[in-house]
Amino acid sequence: MLHNFGSINLDHIYRVPHLVRPGETLASHDYRVGLGGKGANQSLAMARAGGRVCHWGRLGRQDAWARDTLARAGVDVSRVNLVDEPSGHAIIQVDDRAENAIILFSGANHGFRRTDLNALVASTRPGDWLLTQNECLGLAELIPLADDHGLKIAFNPAPMAEEVLGLPLSRCRLLFVNHSEAAGLTGLALGAGAEALLDALAAQLPAAEVVLTLGSNGAWYQHGAQRRHQPALPVEAVDTTGAGDTFIGYLMAARQAGLGIEACLARATAAAALAVQRPGAAESIPDAEEVDRLLTDPAASPAP
């Protein structure tokens, strides 16, 4: 079982001709509300991929539909608590070139207390995986607690923030970073190349496996002396929101199924390629059959 300590957000998604500029009032040409949050997206992706995942989260009581959506996909939601607080939400602009800009309100995602973390970790078995991102409070306590309990920790420091640098990252087995997160962790310039970022991460966290995701430039995997590049599939993106989360959920599910890293990267890449061709975050995540079809016949155009 993989346990995912992660955010659940309501995503308010506005399609706009361009991302709004300072001082500008801009009309959107489409608006929808859907399930999001990096944590929820990753759990949903893992379940759609056929993985076993238990989500640890907090959600405003009035938004129970979001928990039901996770449950219908096969996520164990027995540790998603409905609380008398507003849910986390995100205001997302997506422009005509599929670029996005996101404002987050953490809401209930920030309500975990130390006693909650103790109980959650105590409910797990040593050897299980714990996946987490940076949208819930309590990581400085949770990471050592989980490591001491024997959990294997996978961490996606998204969204990147100053506090991440103070976390005990050497206790993480697996790190998922995009370009800017890798630059933030290593202190290298945003213009640094992938190999320089990987060198710096290897020096900083020599025991960790690192997956560096680069959107249309594919993904890198690094562990010890092993370094491998997985090219992205050439697709026309309409919305990249949640594509990184889709990649992570699919990769963790493939790992759980015992696949080697090459196959894990290929499945994750195919899933992300399908996700970027659809609007929304959780709603854009493909199921395992679609991913299988794309892997079998990459030339076949994916279902809309």
Rank residues 133 and 230 by Cβ distance to ligand RIB and give the closer one: 133
Q: Which of residues 102-161 bind ligand RIB (CB under 6 A)?
A: 102, 104, 135
Candidate list 2, 3, 11, 108; residue touching ligand RIB; CB under 6 A: 11
Burial of 27 per CB tally in 10 Å (0-12, 13-18, 19+)? exposed
Binding part of the chain for ligand RIB, among 5-13, 58-66, 141-149, 296-304 by CB under 6 A, reads: 5-13
**What is the smallest separation between the CB atom of 194 and ligand RIB, expressed in angstroms?**
21
Scan for tokens 């975050």, then name that residue.
281
Residues 125, 80: Cα–Cα separation, whole Å: 19
**Residue type at position 103:** I
Q: Produce one character per residue of 100-109: b if its CB has 16 or more CB atoms within 10 Å, e if not.
A: bebebebbbb
Angle (CA) 88 90 92, round 5°: 170
Q: What is the dihedral of CA 132, 133, 136, 142, to 10 degrees?
A: 40
**What is the smallest separation between the CB atom of 112 and ligand RIB, expressed in angstroms?**
16
Q: Which of residues 13-42 bind ligand RIB (CB under 6 A)?
A: 36-38, 41
**What is the smallest separation between the CB atom of 279 and ligand RIB, expressed in angstroms?**
12
Residues 230, 62: Cα–Cα separation, whole Å: 42
**What is the smallest separation between the CB atom of 20 and ligand RIB, expressed in angstroms?**
17
Nearest to 209 by CA among 220, 218, 195, 217: 220
283 binds ligand RIB (CB under 6 A): no
Residues 69-98: x where in contact with ligand RIB by CB under 6 A, - otherwise, as a string: ---------------------x--------
55 binds ligand RIB (CB under 6 A): no
Omega before 159 within 30 of 0, i.e. cis? yes
**What is the smallest separation between the CB atom of 196 and ligand RIB, expressed in angstroms?**
25
Rank residues 55 and 124 by Cβ distance to ligand RIB and give the closer one: 55
**What is the smallest separation between the CB atom of 148 and ligand RIB, expressed in angstroms?**
29
| SS3 state at 93 | strand
Q: Which phi and psi (to 5°) does residue 233 adopt?
A: -85, 140
Strands 226-230 and 209-213: unpaired
57 binds ligand RIB (CB under 6 A): no
**Residue type at position 34:** G
Residues 48, 41: Cα–Cα separation, whole Å: 10
Candidate list 281, 285, 291, 294; residue touching ligand RIB; CB under 6 A: 281
Binding part of the chain for ligand RIB, among 24-32, 50-58, 124-132, 242-250 by CB under 6 A, reads: 242-250
9 binds ligand RIB (CB under 6 A): yes
Scan for tokens 């920790």, then name that residue.
153
Rank residues 41 and 93 by Cβ distance to ligand RIB and give the closer one: 41
245 binds ligand RIB (CB under 6 A): yes
Candidate list 138, 157, 242, 279; residue touching ligand RIB; CB under 6 A: 242
Edge-to-edge strands, sheet with 100-105:
30-36, 9-16, 88-95, 100-105
**What is the smallest separation between the CB atom of 15 and ligand RIB, expressed in angstroms?**
15
The site for ligand RIB (CB under 6 A) is made up of 7, 9, 11, 36-38, 41, 90, 102, 104, 135, 241-242, 244-245, 281
